[in-house]
Structure formats: structure tokens, C-alpha cells
């Protein structure tokens, strides 16, 4: 098949999009990798790549050194990890019964029920976060009702907006469909005969779930966890809008480094660490999924 004409066609068709993605994706990312090794400029941004005094490339690993020596950043990553982990867990708890119900409902209803899960996901991301500003805000009917209830049992009124709690709620809300879909895709394939067999052998509903359904659904759980955890880790808009000063995550600090402090090299270091972790986790998830399949 590899005739010269064929090769010409290949580059004529594949070349332009490839070139576009190289210029506007691969090169910017490589520049950022390089930026993480450069000195900060006198007025923010980057220092010149070639040092005028020595005439050599002016590169440094100092930025990485700063990341690993200052525990604030390690703490920040751990905190973001914790937020993403709690989000993943809550998503799993909410999504599992829903996915199970969809998988066990009549075939003709399944597509509609799945569509109903995807639909809110297509509305603007900011709108979905903003909605929680209304629900958790100080004027909210929901919060005042909650506080009235708490008041009757003698608990101080609570503030929900601009807290880590609000961040988790926002993260769960935005990522929930990513947990439901892989779970559903997995649960749908289960053979109902297995549950019948377990029942005939005397297993109650609880036992049937933990010994049959759940172990079989683990690939779906892993896929969902990866699809929720990884994006949740790098998000900055949700903590920015719902989190206040307490609830910031790694994404907020990256944004800060680029737009406020204008320390690009260090911002690049943080982005690099985040990306390496995300890619490593994705790789791990793929590996675990492959292991559990065999």
C-alpha cells in the first residue's frame, strides 16, 4: 500500500492538522517544560534564554529545588489530592445506585436514563458552579432552613459558601457523570444469572452485592475513579468561585503564579508536577484496568 502516491496523500491529508497541533499544542507544552528550567525575568515572565554575560544557555533547576524544599507546595498538592479523593468517593457513592438502576431497567428506557445523566453536563461549566453559589449562599432558602433546624437543636448557624465543603460539592456535581457512565457501561454487561445463582445458594441481597456485583464492577469503578480524580485534581475555577481563601487547590496557585505573581518558571514547575501526576495516574488506572481484566 505504501506507494509514493499513497504517501503523498497521507501527508496532504494528515499533514495540516498534524502541523497545527505541533505548533499550537506540542511546541507550547515544550516551551513550558523549558520555562520550568529558566530564571524569572526582572519584570515577571522569563529571563532571556541566553545569558549575555557568559554567552551560554541560562538554565537552572532552582525552581524545582524550591518546589521540593518549600513544604507549602507539597502540602498544597496533598490537600488537592485529598479534595480529589473525597470527590471521587462521594461520586462513587452517589453514582453507583444510579448506574445500577439504569443497568437493570428495561432496555428501552436505558438510553433515556443515560441521556438524563449526560444532559446537565452539556450546560456551561461556570453556570453549574454558579448554581451552587445560589444554593449555598448566605441568602439561600436552603441554608436558612438548615440553620433554623440546627438552631432548634442548639447548634450554631453554619456558613457553607466559601468553605472546603462548597468546593467538594462543586467538584462532585461537575464530575458525577464521569463516574456514572463507566459504571453503567460495566454493570450493563453483568449476567443476571450470576445473581440468581448466588440467591439460590442462600446469599442475601447485601452479600450478593458485595460478593458478586461489586467485585465484577471493579474495572468500571477504576475507570470512573480515574475520570473523576484526574480532572478534579487540576481544577481551578471551582475553588476560585466556591472556595474562598481556605479552599484553594493547586490550580489556583498555578493561576496565581502566571497572572498575579508573574513567576512563570515556578508556575511552569507547578504545572509540570501536576501534569506528570495526572499522566502517571492515568497510566496507573489503565494498568490496573488491564490487570483486573485478565
Q: First CA to last CA across the chain, in angstroms? A: 35
* Distance of closest approach, residue 85 Cβ to other proteins, in angstroms: 17
Residue 67 binds other proteins (CB under 8 A): no
CB 234 within 8 A of CB 274: yes
Which residues does 268 contact at the CB level (< 8 Å), separation at least 6? 32, 33, 35, 36, 63
- Please, which of residues 193-232 interact with other proteins by CB under 8 A? 195, 205, 230-231
**Considering only 57-65, 73-81, 95-103, 217-225, which stretch makes contact with other proteins by CB under 8 A?**
95-103
* Distance of closest approach, residue 224 Cβ to other proteins, in angstroms: 14
Residue 248 binds other proteins (CB under 8 A): no
**Residue 175: exposure state from Cβ atoms within 10 A (0-12, 13-18, ≥19):** buried
| Number of Cβ within a 10 Å radius of residue 163 | 17
Q: Which of 47, 86, 92, 94 binds other proteins (CB under 8 A)?
A: 94
Tell me which residue has cell 521540593. 68
Comparing CB distances to other proteins, the nearer of 219 and 233 is: 233
Residue 274 binds other proteins (CB under 8 A): yes
Tell me which residue has cell 551560554. 56
Rounded distance, CA 218 to CA 78, Å? 25
- Please, which of residues 27-66 interact with other proteins by CB under 8 A? 27-29, 31-32, 35, 45-46
Site string for other proteins, 144-173 (x = CB under 8 A): -----------------------------x
Amino acid at each position: 500500500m505504501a506507494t509514493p502516491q499513497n504517501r503523498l496523500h497521507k501527508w496532504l491529508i494528515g499533514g495540516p492538522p498534524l502541523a497545527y497541533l505541533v505548533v499550537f499544542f506540542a511546541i507550547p507544552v515544550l516551551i513550558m517544560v523549558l520555562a520550568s528550567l529558566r530564571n524569572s525575568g526582572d519584570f515577571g515572565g522569563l529571563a532571556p534564554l541566553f545569558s549575555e554575560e557568559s554567552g551560554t544557555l541560562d538554565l537552572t533547576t532552582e525552581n524545582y529545588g524550591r518546589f521540593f524544599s518549600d513544604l507549602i507546595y507539597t502540602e498544597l498538592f496533598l490537600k488537592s489530592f485529598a479534595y480529589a479523593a473525597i470527590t471521587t468517593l462521594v461520586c462513587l457513592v452517589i453514582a453507583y445506585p444510579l448506574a445500577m438502576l439504569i443497568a437493570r431497567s428495561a432496555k428501552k428506557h436505558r438510553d433515556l436514563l443515560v441521556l438524563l445523566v449526560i444532559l446537565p453536563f452539556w450546560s456551561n461549566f461556570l453556570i453549574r458552579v454558579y448554581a451552587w453559589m445560589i444554593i449555598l449562599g448566605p441568602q439561600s432558602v436552603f441554608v436558612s432552613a438548615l440553620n433554623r433546624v440546627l438552631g432548634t437543636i442548639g447548634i450554631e448557624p453554619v456558613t457553607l459558601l466559601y468553605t472546603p465543603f462548597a468546593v467538594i460539592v462543586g467538584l462532585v456535581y461537575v464530575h458525577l457523570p464521569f463516574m456514572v457512565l463507566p459504571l453503567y457501561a460495566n454493570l450493563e454487561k453483568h449476567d443476571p444469572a450470576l445473581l440468581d445463582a448466588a440467591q439460590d445458594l442462600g446469599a442475601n441481597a447485601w452479600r450478593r452485592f458485595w460478593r458478586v456485583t461489586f467485585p465484577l464492577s471493579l474495572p468500571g469503578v477504576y475507570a470512573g475513579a480515574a475520570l473523576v480524580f484526574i480532572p478534579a485534581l487540576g481544577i481551578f475555577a471551582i475553588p476560585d468561585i466556591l472556595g474562598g481563601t481556605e479552599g484553594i487547590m493547586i490550580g489556583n496557585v498555578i493561576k496565581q503564579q502566571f497572572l498575579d505573581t508573574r513567576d512563570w518558571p515556578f508556575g511552569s514547575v507547578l504545572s509540570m508536577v501536576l501534569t506528570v501526576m495526572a499522566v502517571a495516574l492515568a497510566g496507573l488506572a489503565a494498568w490496573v484496568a488491564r490487570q483486573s481484566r485478565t
